Amino acid sequence: MRLSGKVAVITGAASGMGKAIAELYASEGAKVVVSDLRIDAAQTVVTDIESKGGTAIAIAANVAKEDDVQNLIDTTVKTFGTVDILVNNAGIMDNFVPAADLTDELWERIFAINTTGPMRTTRKVLPLFTEKKSGVIVNIASAGGLQGSRAGAAYTASKHAVVGFTKNVGFQYATQGIRCNAIAPGGVNTNIGTSITEPNPFGMERAMAGISLNPRAGEPEEIAKVALFLASDDASFVNGTVVTADAGWTAY
């Protein structure tokens, strides 16, 4: 029970990697807040966790909205008394749109969810963490945040920003008992593909140029195990860095 008694908030936790992380954290003793836009789906995850003896609640939240983020953390504290672990998992793709075809609207929407969302949740939990000199943040970045063309320009830039934000927070708060790391998954079998509606042909062709080099797709549970390690005391000396989980895809 590596997370016994800890309170963990996970965004985008109704499906995919977020769901797998929520379920694994609960099985390791954490009280889990399953946060998602889709409250019914989030509640289904909670029901499943409770059926296995775990503790969880569902909170509807759009991380692109400041009020939702405020309510997410405030409700968590009201319910469980604190926050110990924050997992910023919510994210969307960008239809592989290349820079020449980018609109302000698409750029701002991708950044609002993928980058500004994690900033807001982090900003909200840091006062709790600094007061008790303890806390862990796990950001879900992407291989697209390490390489130049795993998606379109907006997604790529947004995930690079998450990596930079992770390193900044990790170092600046390191002496206050706070750790902040990121996971950079490669291709994982989740439903994030549903956020791809009308892929840009040119952008998709360029982004998929190296897909044949990908050894295999991962499963959400494999990413969850990395997230468990980073949230636990096993990773007490791991801070301000990115753990790549991609079967070796970016090693080529």
List, for residues 73-116, the tens digit of each pLDDT value.
Answer: 999 999 999 999 999 999 999 999 999 999 999 999 999 999 99
Q: Residue 250 falls within a domain, yes or no?
A: no
Is 155 labeled as catalytic in the residue annotation? yes
- Amino acid letter, 33: V
What integer pLDDT is reported at residue 245 of this predicted model?
98
Region of 74 on the Ramachandran plot (φ > 0 left; ψ -120 to 50 alpha; else beta):
alpha
Tell if the pTM clears 0.85, that is, is over it: yes
Beta-carbon contacts of 96 under 8 Å, excluding residues fewer than 6 positions away, are 151, 152, 196, 199, 200, 203, 204, 206, 207
Considering its fold, how many domains does the chain have in total?
1
We report the CATH number of the domain holding residue 27 as 3.40.50.720
Q: Residue 35 falls within a domain, yes or no?
A: yes
Beta-carbon contacts of 121 under 8 Å, excluding residues fewer than 6 positions away, are 9, 11, 63, 69, 72, 73, 86, 88
Q: Residue 2 falls within a domain, yes or no?
A: no
Q: Residue 183 falls within a domain, yes or no?
A: yes
Q: Residue 249 falls within a domain, yes or no?
A: no
What integer pLDDT is reported at residue 131 of this predicted model?
98
Instruction: Report the SS3 class of residue 138.
Output: strand
Q: Residue 66 falls within a domain, yes or no?
A: yes
List, for residues 217-230, the tens digit of each pLDDT value.
Answer: 999 999 999 999 99
Give the HSE-up count for residue 78: Cα atoms under 13 Å, Cβ half-sphere.
8
Burial of 67 (0-12, 13-18, 19+ CB in 10 A): exposed
The active-site residue, picked from 25, 155, 173, 252, is: 155
Q: Residue 252 falls within a domain, yes or no?
A: no
Q: How far apart are the first and last CA of the chain?
A: 37
Q: Residue 153 falls within a domain, yes or no?
A: yes
List, for residues 166-209, the tens digit of each pLDDT value.
Answer: 999 999 999 999 999 999 999 999 877 777 889 999 999 999 99
Instruction: Report the SS3 class of residue 29.
Output: coil
Range of the domain at 226: 7-244
